[in-house]
Amino acid sequence: MLIAGFPAGPWGTNCYVVATGAGSECVVVDPGKDATDGVATVVREHRLKPVAVLVTHGHIDHMWCVAPVAGGYDATAWIHPADRHLLTDPTAGMGRETAQLLLGRGFTFAEPDDVRELSDLQELELAGLRFVVDHTPGHTAGSVTFRTPYPATDPSGPQVSEVMFSGDLLFAGSIGRTDLPGGDHPTMLRSLRDKVLPLADDVVVLPGHGEQTSIGRERATNPFLRDLLESGGAERVSRGL
């Protein structure tokens, strides 16, 4: 399995290119600002053909280059319906100052020609890979994660059952912010409780920003997950407090 990731643009958003191996079809996850050239470099070096663009959520730092990447390779873009409007109006998901700055510079956005909508627990078969979609609202209403099985290649090395592209749900040592339009902290905590905590410790997490981590590491050290593991934290989430 081939996973190539690189931070793109001024927000340092991690863009990932995923394939079964060199010389095959591939999937691009979260091509943010200035990601087009990075995707082209990975595609050229590994002789890949993008067939799909997966969007973990509609914030501009994750979707800026969705249209040019999808259009440039005749690929299908996938996004949750609750965030689809952000493809054409990303200012709806921004703070006021950032939105005014963007509008003042005359940027325009459009949907790719082929956009399809995601649903919770949907299974996608793309580029010879299987992705399970988990709807994880909180950071945005349409935030999702994508999990794909990771085939073992070295029996003596660390065992990994799955790789999860977590977007801005879960980071190494932290979680996504919920103070932007569409964000909701209790909903974020429910997503973490229901979708993250049940996962196996060996699941590798490839987040939207920063370094990779694992579910086991975050379960042990992430203060937000540790609080949820305590009975009081879990009770507060279940009551929507």
pLDDT tens per residue across span 193-212: 999 999 999 999 999 999 99
pLDDT tens per residue across span 130-161: 999 999 999 999 999 999 999 866 566 667 79
Q: Please compute the mean of the pLDDT values over residues 56-64 and round it to a whole number.
A: 95
Asked if pLDDT for residue 117 goes beyond 60, the answer is yes
Asked if pLDDT for residue 112 goes beyond 60, the answer is yes
At residue 17's C-alpha, the angle toward residues 221 and 43, to 5°, is: 150
Q: Please compute the mean of the pLDDT values over residues 154-178 and round it to a whole number.
A: 88
Domain ranges of the chain: 2-238
Pairing, β 49-54 against β 76-79: parallel
Asked if pLDDT for residue 67 goes beyond 90, the answer is yes
For residue 240, the model assigns a pLDDT of 41
151 in Cβ contact with 166 (< 8 Å): no
**172 vs 62, 167, 205, 212, CA distance in Å?**
18, 12, 8, 7
CATH topology of domain 2-238: Metallo-beta-lactamase; Chain A (3.60.15)
For residue 230, the model assigns a pLDDT of 86
Q: Please compute the mean of the pLDDT values over residues 61-69 and round it to a whole number.
A: 95
Higher pLDDT, 92 or 148: 148
199 in Cβ contact with 163 (< 8 Å): no
Asked if pLDDT for residue 219 goes beyond 60, the answer is yes
Task: Compute the mean pLDDT over every residue in the chain, rounded to the nearest whole number.
Answer: 91
Contact residues for 110 (Cβ-Cβ < 8 A; gap 6+):
67, 87, 88
Pairing, β 123-126 against β 129-135: antiparallel
For residue 109, the model assigns a pLDDT of 85
**DSSP-assigned letters across all residues of the chain:** -EEEEEEETTTTEEEEEEESSTTSEEEEE---TT-HHHHHHHHHHHT-EEEEEE-S---HHHHTTHHHHHHHHT-EEEE-GGGGGGGT-GGGGS-HHHHHHHHHTT------SSEEE--TT-EEEETTEEEEEEE-TTSSTT-EEEEEE-----TTS----EEEEEETSEETTEE----STT--HHHHHHHIIIIITTS-TT-EEEESSS--EEHHHHHHH-HHHHHHHSHHHHHHHHTT-
